[in-house]
Amino acid sequence: MSIAKIFSTLGNSQSLVPLAIKDSANIAGMTSASAVTSKEEARDRLIDEVGTGAVWLGAIPLYKKITDKTLFKIAGYDADYDVRNLNNEAVFEQTKKYAPTDKIKSKIEKIGENKKVFKGLNAAKFVISTGAALATYNIITDMKQKYTHNRIKNKLLKAQENEVKEKMSKTLNSLDIAKKDTNFTNISQVRTKKSDDNKTNFKGGFDVMLDPVKNMMVFDAGITGERLGKSRSPQEFMGYAIKEGGFWLFMYFLGEKIQNLFEHVADKKHNKNIGLDARVLEDENFKNSFADKSIETSLKEFETPKTDVELYEFLHKNPDNIVVKSAKQSDIIQTYKEPKKWYQIFSKPKDTGKIDTRKYINLDDVRTAHKNMAKLYQQFNESGQSVNEFFDGVRKLKRGSIIKNMGSTILALGVVLPGIMLADRLLKPNNKEFAVEKEIKTKIANGELC
């Protein structure tokens, strides 16, 4: 993977990769903080966070894919067509006109004849995939809680049993009858075997709990609700409230704002616009277009005020325009890739370079890219620097902004947030012990568990 690809991926607010990295830091921090109070709590936290992370990152994409292969296939509609293209009738007609293949064009025509049905299918896909993902998380949570409860119960009962055995053995030895009476030994062996069997029986459930299950962040609100609703104690409820509140703040809201702040500073302090995708800024051909001034033609072609339909047509009719090329490079515009044959499992699909009209194009994002490009070119002309010196500075600022953004979020999720949760535990009286373990101890002492 190229440096440009790495920084572009890390700086992309729509990518799951930076989310996975941030979540991993959060898992490590939460588990470490829990280990300060209890090893059992740390184990419970690790299972919970890893299982939740697996669901959070992939379950919805998995269930959507299943829906695409079943519901949409049975109904005979192309699941790859973005329903947002139906919002503008004129743009929808353009998606038919510029369809990359005749087969895709015929499928789009069918969608146009039954728009309500297609919209209904997409709504059903969202409901089904989100509901199935939340159900998966609910099952994992129940299994985790059952595993933790059984593990702590068996451990405490075993400790209690060993204590009784030790006291009884001392008593029997003092009476010199320990060797004559084997009943106690036999009973304890049966009890030990039963305890071992309980542990073995749950091993399968533990494996299932840690099995990666796909998910998307769009149902994190549902996870938060289920976590709070299924809390086993006020201690756990407060911990989840702090964790989920901070997670939402740093993962979804502050990340993009911090990146925008760094870009604003680069623009105002260094007179360099770094709003373009890292893949564009790292591209040598893009840099050379500044040196030979060929970018001027592309910028001027784009400057004429255009309606959405006119801009959509422009994107198709001017594939060599640098703005259009950059939009494709940034994945604002997605190109059509020919489906692989059954024997091409390990090869990459062939990119035709044509725009895939099934995919949604945010035309405002294209306009913003043009605006950033024009401003960057103006700054280059005003800088008096060579193209190499100018782009070295731009790339350094872009990379630095992404690193600082990722670093600050990782620090917040992996250190600050777990620290707040730990402080809340330690500062409150009688709140250090793992509440679940404390409750089980009380029930065993009262004879409610055996």
pLDDT of residue 171: 66
pLDDT of residue 5: 79
Strands (E), 140-230: none
Q: Could you give the C-alpha distances from 185 to 4, 84, 160, 179, 297, in angstroms and in order?
A: 69, 72, 16, 10, 92
pLDDT tens digits for the chain (450 residues)? 677 778 878 877 667 788 888 888 888 988 898 888 888 888 888 888 888 778 877 888 888 899 999 999 999 999 999 999 998 999 999 999 999 999 999 999 999 999 999 999 998 998 898 889 889 888 888 888 888 888 888 888 887 777 767 777 676 666 654 444 444 444 344 334 433 433 433 333 322 222 233 334 456 677 777 777 777 778 778 777 777 777 777 776 776 788 888 888 889 999 999 999 999 999 999 999 999 999 999 999 998 767 999 999 999 999 999 999 999 999 999 999 988 777 777 778 888 889 999 999 999 999 999 999 999 999 999 999 999 999 999 999 999 999 998 898 889 888 988 888 888 888 887 777 777 777 777 777 777 776
∠ Cα 281 349 356 (to 5°) = 70
Show Cβ contacts of residue 433 under 8 Å, excluding neighbours closer than 6 positions: 37, 38
Cα distance between residue 9 and residue 326, in whole Å: 16
Cα 220 from chain centroid (whole Å)? 10
Q: Which amino acid is at 268?
A: K
pLDDT of residue 211: 29
Strands (E), 323-403: 335-337, 351-355
Rounded to 10 deg, the angle between the 322-329 and 295-303 helix axes is 90
Both tokens of residue 418? Answer: 């777990």
CB atoms within 10 A of CB 298: 22
pLDDT of residue 324: 96
> What pTM was computed for the model?
0.74
Residue found by looking up tokens 């184990």 in the block: 43
Cα distance between residue 92 and residue 86, in whole Å: 6
Cα 160 from chain centroid (whole Å)? 43
Q: What is residue 246's three-state secondary structure? A: helix
Cα distance between residue 393 and residue 398, in whole Å: 9
Q: DSSP character for 282? A: T
Q: What is residue 119's three-state secondary structure? A: helix
Cα distance between residue 306 and residue 10, in whole Å: 32
Cβ atoms of 274 and 266 closer than 8 Å? yes
Q: Could you give the C-alpha distances from 201 to 150, 153, 156, 387, in angstroms and in order?
A: 11, 15, 18, 67
Smallest Cα–Cα separation from 315: which of 363, 271, 277?
A: 363
Both tokens of residue 126? Answer: 């969202």
